[in-house]
Amino acid sequence: MTETAPDDDTGARSARIPDHHAGRRFDAVLAELFPEFSRSRLAEWIKSGDALLDGRQVRPREAVAGGELVTLDVVLDEQTSDAPEDIPLTVLHEDADVLVIDKPAGMVVHPGAGNRTGTLVNALLFRDPALAALPRAGVVHRLDKDTSGVMVVARTLQAHAALVEQLSARAVHRQYLAVVVGALVSGGTADGPIERHPRDRLRMAVREDGRDAVTHFRVRERFRAHTALECRLETGRTHQIRVHMQHLRHPIVGDPLYGGALKLPKAATDGLVAALRGFRRQALHAETLEFRHPSTGEPLRVGAPVPEDMLELMRQLREDTRAAGPGR
């Protein structure tokens, strides 16, 4: 049982090893006593002498007897060298453990080649410099650059570990709005494993040798030649909804990787033609995120309003459907 735990992620901690752990390796027991820290980080602290067994520096594989006192001197190094930038963020929820934001379309989440600045991580580091000590600045899941919507960011190591565990256990509810090509009759489930495309390394594809991927979807609104879908992720693979919709031959409107050539409905209204030609991103928005708060365990449900570009697209699709008349 942990006997001391400071309010933040740094400082001294101690725990008494339960007797039933007798005979087990020190590093394995340490990982169970302090699950908020990664095994690699704990291994570094054992090596540096910041994790002691009854005041002694020991090897990771040393067997414990049970009843010993473990002391841990938590010193967190910066995990990122990315620069903080004063970029406005739309905050949907904020407390000491988590930050929930509404990411705009066009914003890259993580800095990378060609995108060292102007990213969500740069903005987060400006808002909360302490995030530099967390893996990926606290980001536990991502949205594609041109997908808008709700994202949660951990503000402590404990919160980060808890949220990663919930994601791994598929215990996080993630709901998206997608506008796809074609008038679907009903919803369904896309259950197709996803892996990197065998020839185009920028794309993903449904492949038999891929990682399992499941997307549930239902019809929210049907238009003449398009459908607004409510999609729920059971897994969280790269480009998952975009790949599954393409695989079902109902690609997301505006998707530059998976949408194919623009197809205009026959006799479409001028407004719809302009809206479809002018929509230069995938029409995909993360609407709702629900998870258990890492400290209280209570459900926390946060929603992000549908952005104006998608609302306008749907208005034009609605108007085109009305103009076409019944049976069209």
> Distances from the Cα of 304 to the Cαs of 92, 97, 241, 327, in angstroms?
7, 20, 18, 34
Is residue 150 classed as helix, strand or coil in its secondary structure? strand
Q: Could you give the C-alpha distances from 205 to 55, 86, 241, 270, 308, in angstroms and in order?
A: 53, 37, 11, 34, 30
Q: Which residue has the tokens 């005979």?
A: 23
Other beta carbons within 10 Å of 195: 17
Which of 265, 266, 244 minimizes the C-alpha distance to 255?
A: 244
Residue 104's Cβ-count burial label (10 Å; 0-12, 13-18, 19+) is middle
Between CA 212 and CA 258 the distance in angstroms is 20
Q: What is the identity of the amino acid at 80?
A: T
How many Cα neighbours within 13 Å face the side chain of 21? 22
Of the candidates 65, 53, 55, 56, the one whose C-alpha atom is nearest the C-alpha of residue 21 is: 65
Neighbours of 66 (CB within 10 A): 14
Cα–Cα distance for residue pair 253/280, rounded to 1 Å: 9
Closest CA to 267 of 315, 222, 221, 325: 325
From the candidates 102, 144, 146, 309, which is the catalytic residue? 144
**Helices marked H in the chain:** 26-33, 39-48, 120-127, 157-168, 240-247, 270-278, 308-324
Closest CA to 272 of 312, 218, 328: 312
Active site residue 144: yes
Tell me if 96 sits within 8 A of 63, measured CB to CB: no
- Take residue 63 and report the two structure tokens written for it: 């067997």
Residues marked active site are found at: 144
